[in-house]
Amino acid sequence: MIKIGLTGSIGMGKSTTAAMFAEQGIPVNDADAVVHDLYRGVAVKKIAAVFPDAVTEGVVDRQKLAKNLAKNPAKFSVLEAIVHPLVRKREREFLQLQSRSGADMVVLDIPLLLETGAESRVDVVVVVSCDPETQRRRVLARPGMTAEKFEMILSRQVPDVEKRARADFVIDTGKGMEMAQAQVAEIIATLRNHRPAAKE
């Protein structure tokens, strides 16, 4: 089973691209969706112990958590120490399930794939990218987003130029979604025809 690591900086169109893989029948494990689920469940108690003002009615409020982290960037590592092992556990369960069901490839959608060294857990790295102007326009159009918050997020991500250099495949979403869909289909066909050596 080929493990595709899908990543890309904020605003590059990674979630849309992950949906394109799913439309082609490739199972996708969305790390962000897993985190959302953890913030409503098993991670709440541990996060509340460190960020008590970020939990409302038993659910982690991501906006409040983000404000807390903006004031205390050193606490990012504390949050990651809580969340990352839980996300990894869900990822392992997903891979076991897909392996048992006979999937020939899966997508691990991991926003911080290169930042956290997760490329060692996948067989190929696919980076979603676009031009900086398109990225900025997309991100600043999001509700509650500010230029300052955008810069803070970018500062914690590997620069796009480096991500592209470290990728096995690059999908450019700046040229329209039809083009991106064609690139997704081409990557799937390429991997099926020339299977990479799987990593343990």
36-72, pLDDT tens digit by residue?
A: 999 999 999 999 999 998 999 899 998 899 888 888 8
Tokens of 79: 């949050």
Q: Mark whether 53 and 72 lie in a shared domain.
A: yes
Query: Tens of pLDDT along 94-106?
Result: 999 999 999 999 9
What is the span of the domain harbouring residue 2? 1-27+106-192
Q: Mark whether 76 and 166 lie in a shared domain.
A: no
Last residue of a domain, one of 102, 123, 150: 102
Number of compact structural domains in the chain: 2
Q: Mark whether 183 and 118 lie in a shared domain.
A: yes
d(CA 111, CA 8): 6
d(CA 71, CA 113): 25
Q: What is the CATH number of the domain that holds 48?
A: 3.40.50.300
d(CA 127, CA 17): 10
Query: Tens of pLDDT along 155-190?
Result: 888 999 999 999 999 999 998 889 999 999 999 999
The answer as to whether 200 is a domain residue is no
Q: Mark whether 36 and 50 lie in a shared domain.
A: yes
Q: Is the pLDDT of residue 3 over 90?
A: yes
Q: Mark whether 98 and 136 lie in a shared domain.
A: no
The answer as to whether 198 is a domain residue is no
Last residue of a domain, one of 102, 132, 157: 102
Q: Would you list the DSSP string of 164-177?
A: HHH-SEEEEGGG-H
pTM: 0.88
Q: Mark whether 119 and 176 lie in a shared domain.
A: yes
- Asked if residues 91 and 29 have their Cβ atoms less than 8 Å apart, the reply is yes
Last residue of a domain, one of 102, 124, 153: 102
Tokens of 73: 């960037």
Residues 6+ apart with CB under 8 A from 182: none
Q: Mark whether 62 and 112 lie in a shared domain.
A: no
